[in-house]
Structure 1
Amino acid sequence: MTRQLEGDCIMKSAKWIGMLALLVTLTAPAAAQDAYPARPVQLIYPFGSGGTDTLFRVFAQAMGKIAGVQFVYMNREGASGAIGAASVARAQPDGYTLMIGPSIVMTNLPYTQKDLPYGFDSFDFVCQLNVNAFVLAVRADAPYKRLEDLIEAARKKPGKFNYGHSGTYTDVHLNMLTMAREAGIEVQDIAYRGDGPNLLRLLAGDLEFTINSVVSVASRNDVRPLAVFWDRRHPALPDVPTVRELGYSSFFTGYQGVYAPKGTPKPVIAKLEDMCVKAVETEEYQTTARNQGAAVVPMKSASFASEARANYEAKGKLFAELGVQPQ
């Protein structure tokens, strides 16, 4: 009888231990999410240093102060942003490896790069920080005072006008392709490695005009901005009309934000989203953005994801019309 009781006790104990283990297994992830972030977070920028990179470093510092843990900012450049983006897409979806930067690595590269190790749906969109609007500019001493002047001159010399941009099938290039179709002009594009070399060739007289980020031209007095590719006037160039005001309906605007590997728990996304909003509201971030000419347009996860998908699908349609195949 004693042995029977002992056996029953052992079985009951084993049952309770099993139930306890199951309970711990089920509650551990929830506890980890509640404690997030409990250790440093990697924030990867998939390009080299310089430009908006400075603003993103300020953002990382602000996030660290808000979270109480360090947000370790890292540049991981290569393959037009694909190397850094792929490293984030492959990371554990726990909120400790994130990407910051332009959305083109998700909205453009899947259409242009062959065998890309990720896709648009490899990420969760955490929050939008800024809008990276682009501007069409000429030299300050150019005869073109308005965009209409440039378009009219280009119509008279089809194929004779050279313009510069910072990369084939980037947003700046796509903007001119769509405008040229709407305006009925033929212009020759030359791709450079960034806005800096692009502007140098403009000033040297090799180009009739360029398309650059607003950030790169807002504080310059040696170029004349003619039109901004956005649906509203840019705060850094309030006197420059938008292409929409001038009658052009098709354009692309760059979105800059924070992204997580697909499948990151919603409570973690919600915490990051809340911290993002607070970080962009800090005085240091606002001042740095204003000094750079960046347009701070914060957007939460759901809206950001919706805008990015619309951007991605519109580009897919354009690339199909252009007959672009991944290379």
Structure 2
Amino acid sequence: MLFSLGGTAVAQDTYPARPVQLIYPFGSGGTDALFRVFSMAMSKIGGEQFVYINREGASGAIGAASVARAQPDGYTLMIGPSIVMTNLPYTQKDLSYTFDSFDFVCQLNVNAFVLAVRADSPYKKLEDLVEAARRQPGKFNYGHSGTYTDVHLNMLTLARQAGIQVQDIAYRGDGPNLLRLLAGDLEFTINSVVSVASRNDVRPLVVFWDRRHPALPDVPSVVELGYASFFTGYQGLYAPRDTPRPVIAKLENMCMKAVQTEEYQAAAQKQGAAVVPMRSAPFAAEARKSYETKGALFAELGVKPQ
């Protein structure tokens, strides 16, 4: 027993001593490119290869489940949005993991969302759109990238606070969503800031965050406009529950260094991602708050896992 404890201590002290699997539970493209830069930075800092793996399927549940059931030794980690822990337990039946199946290592970015119209739209401000929607209940169509994802929840919440009725249409990602907006099939869309920040064919009206986004400094936040509730996408690094604290601490410190590298900062700026690093304890607290807030909203909406 003494030998076992000593061996564990040595293993933790020399971590990482072999390659680490870094699972992204979605396909390639989009923010995926930024996470690949992060994996390379972690490899340089840690002295061992952080092997980046796309393991997509079931809205992120397949990749997340593979990490949740992995040995909690720090050699199988997950990177990506926290919605696989904060949303899917409420919407997907028979998940093999829960919110508490993970340790939250560090936050990397905040994936804020934006409401946008076509560049030639008559709506110059959110108030213009809201007033028009009030005059025509149920007549406005808007697009988003998935039912009961954070983008959808943001609009459900805004519509209730603004007293409007709008019809949602779910698409497989921001790209198809924006194509339908430009084709004239939608009055507006809810997208990630990353997907619209560099475009000149759409007009962002409001950002769902408590501050203005650095990629869209002229666009007000929902808080500025008097709305009380919003959801942002927390993107971070996660480990299986009960990963030894010394390993979490090492990963946390490596993470804080990785997001400050020139390569990561440049990649984030190129994508329009807001780098908001956060250590393990506050990140876990923010994620739990988001999970519980969404639970209350899903209960109010009568949403059941399917």
Instruction: Calculate the TM-score normalised by the size of structure 2.
Output: 1.00
- For the residue of structure 2 that corresponds to 1:94, the secondary structure is coil
1:210 aligns with 2:189: yes
Q: Deviations over 1:267-308 (max 9, x none)?
A: 000000000000000000000000100000000000000000
Could you tell me which of 60, 75, 82 is aligned with 2:39? 60
In the TM superposition, residue 23 of structure 1 has moved relative to its aligned partner by: 2.5
Structure 2 unaligned spans of 5+: none
**2:226 partner amino acid:** G
- For the residue of structure 1 that corresponds to 2:63, the secondary structure is helix
Number of the residue aligned with 2:129: 150
1:254 aligns with 2:233: yes
In the TM superposition, residue 24 of structure 1 has moved relative to its aligned partner by: 1.4
Give 1:153-172 correspondences, 5 Å limit. 153-172=132-151
Give 1:1-327 correspondences, 5 Å limit. 22-327=1-306
Structure 1 residue runs of 4 or more that deviate by more than 4 Å after TM superposition: none
In the TM superposition, residue 127 of structure 1 has moved relative to its aligned partner by: 0.2
Distance 2:242 2:74 in 1: 10
Distance 1:66 1:167 in 2: 36
Distance 1:230 1:287 in 2: 22
In the TM superposition, residue 175 of structure 1 has moved relative to its aligned partner by: 0.3
Structure 1 unaligned spans of 5+: 1-21
Q: Deviations over 1:159-193 (max 9, x none)?
A: 00000000000000000000000000000000000
> CA RMSD for the aligned pairs?
0.4
- For the residue of structure 2 that corresponds to 1:258, the secondary structure is strand
In the TM superposition, residue 129 of structure 1 has moved relative to its aligned partner by: 0.0
- For the residue of structure 2 that corresponds to 1:226, the secondary structure is strand
In the TM superposition, residue 203 of structure 1 has moved relative to its aligned partner by: 0.2
Distance 1:174 1:161 in 2: 17
- For the residue of structure 2 that corresponds to 1:190, the secondary structure is strand
**1:145 partner amino acid:** K
Q: Deviations over 1:61-111 (max 9, x none)?
A: 000000000000000000000000000000000000000000000000000
Q: Deviations over 1:207-240 (max 9, x none)?
A: 0000000000000000000000000110000000
- For the residue of structure 2 that corresponds to 1:125, the secondary structure is strand
Rg comparison, structure with higher value: 1
**1:284 partner amino acid:** E
More helix per residue = 1
- For the residue of structure 1 that corresponds to 2:237, the secondary structure is strand
In the TM superposition, residue 250 of structure 1 has moved relative to its aligned partner by: 1.0
Distance 2:230 2:108 in 1: 20
Distance 1:269 1:110 in 2: 24
Instruction: Calculate the TM-score normalised by the size of structure 1.
Output: 0.93
Distance 1:73 1:318 in 2: 34
Between the two proteins, the alignment pairs up a number of residues equal to 306
In the TM superposition, residue 125 of structure 1 has moved relative to its aligned partner by: 0.1
